[in-house]
Each structure stands twice: as C-alpha cells, then as structure tokens.
Amino acid sequence: MSATYDAHFKVGNVTVIRFPLRRLLNAAAIDARLREISASPPMESPDTILDFSQVEFISSAVLNKLIVLDRAIRSLGGRLVLCELSPRLRDLLSMTRLDHVFQIVDDQRAALHEFGLTA
C-alpha cells in the first residue's frame, strides 16, 4: 500500500484510486497510473476513476499531472472520471476552467455508472 493513495482497486475494467491525504501535494499515484497505462503493451485498461473524497487541496503540480493523465487515457481510447470533489476543489477546477476538461461526477457510484458499472 502506498502513502499517496489508500485504495487502488478494480471494478470490472475500471481502476479506482482513492487518495487519503487532505493536501495532495505530489503526483506519485498519478505518475504510477501513467506508467501502468503507458506500458507497451498496456498492462490494463486505461479507464480510471479518481476519488478525491478525503482531499481538500491539490497543488498546481498535481493539476498539471491530472491534465497529462487525462490526455494519455484519452489517447488510448479510455476515460478519466473525477468524483467526490469538495466544494473547494470544484471551485478551483471552475476558476481554472478545468471543469470543462475533466469529467466530474458527484460520487463513486455515479462514476461507475459512467462506465456502465454498479457499485
């Protein structure tokens, strides 16, 4: 288990990553996911849900890595869905106009539904 996420599990072909930190300052878990989907051949489906239920703050470096991850996933025909964002994180994504880049849903159940799965 990593210090950068407390859950990394599969539901169907979708990888769900939940971060345990209130302040997400480094992008180690995102970098690890990039390595997983960038392997040749890819080690697994690129479809990913990121659960931010415990996170209150993310650094600009993490924002940048989220953009890189989203582009990598899309280039492989997959989708990235963000869920459980606090009002503060939603405001940050709105102010930076990244709410138009990322697919954002309220909770993990809704995120799984986006992939045709149930919790």
Domain residues of the chain, as ranges?
A: 7-114
CA 75 distance to own-chain centroid: 16
Taking only the tens place, the pLDDT of each residue in 99-110 is: 999 999 999 999
Domain 7-114: CATH class, spelled out = alpha beta
Asked if residue 8 has pLDDT above 90, the reply is: no
Omega within 30 of 0 (cis) for the link into 41: yes
Q: What is the pLDDT of residue 2?
A: 41
Q: What is the pLDDT of residue 19?
A: 86
Q: What share of the chain is helix, strand, coil (3-state, %, to 5)?
A: 40, 20, 40
Q: What is the pLDDT of residue 42?
A: 67
Q: Which helix (H) or strand (E) holds 50?
A: strand 48-51
Q: How, if at all, do strands 80-83 and 103-105 pair? A: parallel
pLDDT band at 29 (very low <50, low <70, confident <90, very high): confident
Q: What is the pLDDT of residue 1?
A: 35
Asked if residue 4 has pLDDT above 60, the reply is: no
Q: Which of these ranges, 5-19, 50-64, 67-81, has the smallest mean pLDDT? A: 5-19
Q: What is the mean pLDDT of the chain?
A: 87
Q: What is the pLDDT of residue 97?
A: 95
100 φ, ψ (degrees, to nearest 5): -90, -10
Instruction: Provide the greatest CA pair distance for the chain.
Output: 38
